[in-house]
Each structure stands twice: as C-alpha cells, then as structure tokens.
Amino acid sequence: MTDLSQLQSELAARIAAAGDMTALEQVRVEALGKSGSISALLGGLGKMSPEERREQGPKINGLRDAVATAIAQKKAALEASELDARLASERVDLSLPARPERKGRVHPTLQTLDEMIAIFAEMGFSLAEGPDIEDDFHNFTALNFPPKHPAREMHDTFWLAPDEAGERKVLRTHTSPVQIRVMQGSNEKLPGWIANGQAPPIRVIVPGRVYRSDSDATHTPMFHQLEGLVIDRAIHMGHLKWTLDTFTRRFFETDSVVTRFRPHHFPFTEPSAEMDVQCDRSGGSVKIGQGSDWLEILGGGMVHPKVLENCGVDPDEWQGFAFGLGVDRLGMLKYGMPDLRDMFAADLRWLEHYGFTAFQAPNPATGLS
Ligand code: DAH
C-alpha cells in the first residue's frame, strides 16, 4: 500500500516535471510500457491468492488509470503550450504596410521612337535595320562622300583598329548607310537584320544607334537617329516637305507648328535641306508652336543620282527623297529635358521622373499611347 502510493507520487512528480514530449514518453514507457513498473505490478496479480488479488487488483488498476490520466493531461498541456509558442513565433502583423513594388519605366528615347514609328507606319513606311559596326563603303563611299574628303572627318568618326586585310571599320556615324543596304540588297549577307534588298518602289524608316566622338549638353557619343527613304517614280521635294510637315505636326500634337526648309549640303542628296521648327527659347526652356526662334531638327533632300547608281538603281527611272531625324533630340524637345547627356546616364531617379508607364491609355487625339 505504502509502496503503491509512493510509486504514484513519484510518477506524478516525474510527469509534472516532464518539460517536453520526449521526457513524458520516457515516463510512460517506464511506468506503463511492457516492462514498466505498473505493468510488472499488474503481471504479479496472477500469482496472488484470490483474496489478495481482490484487495490489490482495484488498487493497482486504480494506480494505472490515475497515471494514464495524468500522462494524457500532461500531453494535452504540452501540446497546447507548443502551439502557443508556434503561434507567438509565427505571428503575422497584418497592420504592417505592404512592401513597395518598383515598377519599371519606359525610357523617353524608346517612347519617342515608338511614337515616331507609329506616325510613319500610318503613312505606309516599313521598318529596316542595319549593323552598328559599318564598313567605309556603306557609311561613306556609297553615299557619295569623296575619298579622303574632309566630310569623313566632319562626322567625328570612331574608327576601329584595322582588321587582317587592313580594312578599318567604323561605328556608323549615321543611319544613312542602311539606305544603301536596303537598295543594294547587301543585308542579305547579314542574317538577322530587317533590311533585305528591295526593288523600288521603296518606303522605309530606319531607327538605330549612331556614334560620334562628341559630348556637350546637346551632343552625346552615342545617340539615335531615324532615317527615312522613299524611292518611286516622279517623286519630288514637295513629297518630302509634306511628309516631314505632317510628321512634325502629329509628333508635337499641334497644328500650330511652323517649319522652314533651309538649303544645306549633304553629299548623298541633291538638293539638300535642313528643316527647322519655330520655337520660343525665352525663359530657359524651348516651347514648340510659338515664339520667333528656329531649331534644326533634321536633314533631308532628294537622293543623289550617284547614290542610286551606286546601288544599281536607274536614276532616269527612279527618284526619291531621304531624311534623317535625331530621335533623342526630338524627345528632349517634346518632353522638356534640358541636357541630352542625362538620357544616357542610366540614373534611375531621372528615369523615375522622365520615364513613361508601360501601358498608357492611347491619346485620343493621336491614337498613340
Ligand atoms: N545622315 C545625316 C546626318 O547624320 C542626316 C541626313 C541628311 C540624312 C540628309 C538623310 C538626308 O537621309 O537625306 O547628319
């Protein structure tokens, strides 16, 4: 009797002291397991006399039940405190502000280029492209730059080191060499470029990067041009003027833009002209569609007969016009950026400010996004 109550209080103390499931399981095995202390007592009942068994049986069974109950209660308590600990450690604070999600911005040059391409596409122009690394023939010779002529230097050309054959390639100084690639079919040798040779009539625009060794607020060593080329029968300067006037009005989204053509010289056009837009430069920024200043935005002219001949196009049958626009400069004018160099500085704060959201609703006036 004393032994039983001593065993019970001993087990009760061990159950109470069990700090986790493993310790509790240890107590259970030692008391109620196959060779546990209570199991041994139960096993001993069979060897007792009937009177003894009648007396001891209920006590030992009572002890077993009491210990089993105490273990079950302790198990439930341990499980509850484990859950409490997990709930406390895995707590989610729903009142915290959400993490900011950074959205990318469309670079103003790309936005400007998209707008320009959309306007020319509506006029029926298709896209052509050519390589950034050009040979002297496409960049100069075929465009009627005389050999050794200072005009080649005028472009502040980046020359590459001569290859094994002694040929010096250039970083193209303008997109005009793609005129040659389109007319001559020389792009067939350059898989991947959208400008396989075409027979006239031709109506293409050529967007792309160009390079000149120059840097100030309105010049950067790399910038973007958009070239235009139209070859057809009976094409004249009037077509060129209409095309560029229409483009300018649509690009600046106002009918009040005034343009003027000034005679100029380019080796690859005759006659050649530069086009200016009227603007107001007072007050530090440039406003288009008002004022009494002029700003040059492009060069153009009638394709020189020698250029047509160089491409195997008969100048007695075909004529055409060409033009070259500065993409970044037009973007600066339209969106009011003061320094061209910022366009290429890769400063995310600048891009946050001047960049565009990717999916803008179309502008109802132009249909452009
Ligand atoms: N390629 C000239 C430049 O970069 C711009 C230009 C002028 C392009 C007249 C033309 C053109 O197609 O006809 O300065």
Same-domain status, 40 and 163: no
Q: Which of 88, 117, 140 is the last residue of a domain?
A: 88
Structure token pair of residue 264: 């100029």
8-state DSSP, 146: P
Instruction: Quote the CA–CA distance of 68 and 15 in Å, as a whole number.
Output: 10
Nearest CA to ligand 1 atom 13: 300
pTM: 0.71
- Return the pLDDT at 291: 86
Judge if the beta carbon of residue 176 lies within 6 A of ligand 1. Answer: yes
Judge if the beta carbon of residue 300 lies within 6 A of ligand 1. Answer: yes
CATH of the domain at 316: 3.30.930.10
Same-domain status, 133 and 225: yes
Domains in the chain, number: 2
Judge if the beta carbon of residue 157 lies within 6 A of ligand 1. Answer: no
> Using CA atoms in the order 72, 76, 81, 82, what is the torsion angle rounded to 10 degrees?
90
Centroid of ligand 1 to alpha carbon of 324 (angstroms):
4
Cβ atoms within 10 Å of 327's Cβ, excluding its own = 25
Pocket probe mutation, ligand 1, options 144, 157, 235, 268, max atoms within 8 Å of Cβ: 268
Beta strands, E only, the chain: 126-127, 133-134, 170-171, 202-211, 222-232, 259-266, 269-280, 287-288, 293-303, 319-326
Nearest CA to ligand 1 atom 2: 324
Centroid of ligand 1 to alpha carbon of 175 (angstroms):
8
Beta strands, E only, 3-142: 126-127, 133-134
- Amino acid at position 209, single letter: R
- Return the pLDDT at 190: 55
Ligand 1 atom closest to the Cα of residue 324 is: 8
Mapped onto helix, strand or coil, the DSSP state of residue 179 is helix
Q: Are 351 and 105 in contact (CB under 8 A)?
A: yes
Same-domain status, 61 and 197: no
- Return the pLDDT at 281: 80
Residue 235 lies in domain: 108-354
Same-domain status, 183 and 74: no
Ligand 1 atom closest to the Cα of residue 268 is: 13
Same-domain status, 56 and 193: no
Judge if the beta carbon of residue 324 lies within 6 A of ligand 1. Answer: yes
Judge if the beta carbon of residue 269 lies within 6 A of ligand 1. Answer: yes
Centroid of ligand 1 to alpha carbon of 263 (angstroms):
13
Ligand 1 atom closest to the Cα of residue 225 is: 4
Same-domain status, 121 and 200: yes
Same-domain status, 224 and 190: yes
209 located within any domain: yes
99 located within any domain: no
Could you say which residues of the chain have pLDDT below 70? 1-2, 151, 154, 185-196, 359-369
Instruction: Quote the CA–CA distance of 327 and 336 in Å, as a whole number.
Output: 14
Ligand 1 atom closest to the Cα of residue 210 is: 4
Centroid of ligand 1 to alpha carbon of 122 (angstroms):
22
257 located within any domain: yes
Judge if the beta carbon of residue 174 lies within 6 A of ligand 1. Answer: yes
Ligand 1 atom closest to the Cα of residue 176 is: 1
Ligand 1 atom closest to the Cα of residue 269 is: 13
- Return the pLDDT at 364: 61
- Return the pLDDT at 1: 47
Cβ atoms within 10 Å of 154's Cβ, excluding its own = 11
CA dist list (Å): 295 to 72, 198, 291, 364:
91, 34, 11, 28
| Phi, psi (degrees; rounded to nearest 5) at 37 | -65, -40
102 located within any domain: no
- Return the pLDDT at 112: 96
Structure token pair of residue 296: 């040059």
Same-domain status, 331 and 257: yes
Same-domain status, 176 and 310: yes
Centroid of ligand 1 to alpha carbon of 38 (angstroms):
104
Same-domain status, 68 and 36: yes
Q: Is the dihedral of CA 32, 34, 40, 41 positive or negative?
A: positive
CA dist list (Å): 90 to 93, 272, 364:
10, 74, 51
Nearest CA to ligand 1 atom 12: 323
